[in-house]
Amino acid sequence: MDQTLVKIPNALWANLIQERLSNVDCIKQGWILEGFPENQEQAWMLQSFGIFPRHVVMLYASDTVLIERNSGKRLDPLTQEVYHTTFDWPSDPLVQERLVKPEDLSEQEVSKKLLEYHRNFPEVFQIYQKVLKSINADQPSVDVLSQVLTYVQTRHRSAAPFTPRIIFCGPPGSGKSLQAALIAQKYGVVNICCGQLLKEAVADNTNLGELIKPYIDNGWPVPDNLVLELLTQRLSSLECLTDGWVLSGFPRDIEQAEKLQKSQINPNRVFFFNLPYESIMERLSQRRTDPITGQRYHTTFRPAPTPEIQARLRQNPRDEEENIEKRLETYYSNVKDLEDFYEEAFYVNADQDPYVVFEFIESCIIKPLPCRKFRHL
């Protein structure tokens, strides 16, 4: 591992990666992340930042082969390009003459790195086992590439017993986004966060995105008709029809729910997340961010480790108590009508460990579909 990586906190790496993956090119074209995560803590950190890869490729070879490959690496100190004595030797004699062997690639150093990898990988495998593919790297590179492409172009088959169409409703801070991401990762369904969908439409410069852009730029609510048109397009896609979907952030009131129904968007699972007012306030109002490292803290559950860090922490204006109360007031003024509309919904105690909440939601998903009772005329 590069020494510079050792000194940088995992949370800062995850924050930097999240910022990069939020750029327009990553949203439109997708992305490939290499070299991170290297251990369980880093994988969990990515999940806490909402980064859930659809495909994870693990290249493997025997330690003997890997040590031999590393021994052939050569570095151009001028350009920092890496070459190999066997597989990628430069044709330019001037470049050949200035190549040097990297200092950290002694057999002893490589063996040390491999031991660390073998110690950490099983835990990473456990986290990504549903989306992970192991490929033998001890073969021609074109064959490795072919197998990787075949895998990443293959859609995961959902493990769900039916095609899930799931809606998560709940107050801010109740964990809807995290649970949606966990469900999507395990069952291969499409995770649709309404807010993110709007940003993607703007980034894609579509006609609909251009209509939405002024609202996003100015922080105004996007009109229901635009949101509904965008959702209808997305939920009618082949991917959503085939794999299923989980939707959070919409509907927020009875009018939106009725419009979904008129558009033939009918969920077969609806969950309402319940969280006491005091817990919501505690979760949201005490969140803080270190503007230097990007590390996220919580004054109760995860306080800053030093007074110096504590002094520079900042609070997002959305997490100020006055603003939280406004958002909660809006939610509670609408939730009763939504609960009446989705009368067969499940209710989630969100004031628990996230993985306990996930297990409950999962148990409700794999239950048989509810049967409606019809009266005889």
Q: What is the pLDDT of residues 65-84, one digit of tens each?
A: 888 888 888 888 888 888 88
Quick check: 1 pLDDT over 60? Answer: no
Query: Which residues belong to CATH 3.40.50.300 in the chain?
Result: 52-154, 165-365
The answer to whether residues 124 and 37 touch, using CB atoms and an 8 Å cutoff, is: yes
What CATH number does the domain located at 52-154 have?
3.40.50.300
Quick check: 128 pLDDT over 50? Answer: yes
Question: Quick one: which of 91, 72, 90, 71 has its CA closest to 81?
Answer: 90
Measured over the CA atoms of residue 181, residue 183, residue 187 and residue 193, the dihedral's sign is negative
pLDDT on residue 168: 96
Beta bridge partners of 355: none
For 142, counting Cβ atoms within 10 Å of its Cβ (0-12 exposed, 13-18 middle, 19+ buried), the class is exposed
Question: Quick one: which of 270, 48, 286, 44 has its CA closest to 166?
Answer: 270
The angle, 0 to 180 degrees and rounded to 10, between the axes of the packed helices 194-203 and 224-235 is 90
**Residue 15 structure tokens:** 């924050």
pLDDT on residue 371: 43
Q: Which residue shows structure tokens 């025997």? A: 62
H or E element in which residue 240 lies: helix 238-243
Q: What is the chain's mean pLDDT, rounded?
A: 84
Please indicate whether residue 148 or residue 130 has the higher confidence score (pLDDT). 148
Query: What is the rounded CA–CA span in Å between residue 314 and residue 292?
Result: 10
Arithmetic mean of pLDDT, 206-210 = 85
Arithmetic mean of pLDDT, 50-72 = 85
**Residue 121 structure tokens:** 């990988």
pLDDT on residue 154: 75
HSE-CB at 215 with a 13 A cutoff on CA atoms is 17
Quick check: 7 pLDDT over 70? Answer: no
The answer to whether residues 275 and 170 touch, using CB atoms and an 8 Å cutoff, is: yes
Neighbours of 299 (CB within 10 A): 15
The answer to whether residues 181 and 47 touch, using CB atoms and an 8 Å cutoff, is: yes
Question: Quick one: which of 172, 180, 175 has its CA closest to 327?
Answer: 172
pLDDT on residue 28: 73
Please indicate whether residue 98 or residue 125 has the higher confidence score (pLDDT). 98
pLDDT on residue 368: 52
Question: Quick one: which of 133, 130, 134, 193 has its CA closest to 160?
Answer: 130
DSSP of 165-186, one letter per residue? EEEEE--TTS-HHHHHHHHHHH
Quick check: 249 pLDDT over 60? Answer: yes
Query: What is the rounded CA–CA span in Å between residue 244 and residue 369?
Result: 15
Query: What is the rounded CA–CA span in Å between residue 49 and residue 46?
Result: 5
pLDDT on residue 5: 43
Percentage of residues in the chain having pLDDT higher than 70: 92
The answer to whether residues 221 and 250 touch, using CB atoms and an 8 Å cutoff, is: no
pLDDT on residue 272: 95
Query: What is the rounded CA–CA span in Å between residue 68 and residue 224?
Result: 61
Q: What is the pLDDT of residues 143-160, one digit of tens each?
A: 899 999 988 887 665 555
Q: How confident is the model at residue 247 (pLDDT cuts 50, 70, 90)?
A: very high
pLDDT on residue 367: 65
- 3.40.50.300, 3.30.460.10, 1.10.357.10, 3.40.50.2300: which CATH number matches 165-365? 3.40.50.300
Arithmetic mean of pLDDT, 7-36 = 82
Q: Is 317 helix (H, G, I), strand (E, B) or coil?
A: helix
Percentage of residues in the chain having pLDDT higher than 90: 22
pLDDT on residue 347: 92
Q: How confident is the model at residue 13 (pLDDT cuts 50, 70, 90)?
A: confident
Q: How confident is the model at residue 376 (pLDDT cuts 50, 70, 90)?
A: very low
Quick check: 370 pLDDT over 50? Answer: no
CA 92 to each of CA 74, 81, 86, 95, 262: distance values in angstroms, whole numbers, following the listed order:
14, 13, 15, 5, 67
Q: How confident is the model at residue 232 (pLDDT cuts 50, 70, 90)?
A: confident
Query: What is the rounded CA–CA span in Å between residue 273 and residue 255?
Result: 20
pLDDT on residue 350: 92
pLDDT on residue 33: 92
Please indicate whether residue 271 or residue 195 has the higher confidence score (pLDDT). 271
* Chain centre distance of CA 104: 33
The angle, 0 to 180 degrees and rounded to 10, between the axes of the packed helices 321-341 and 254-262 is 50
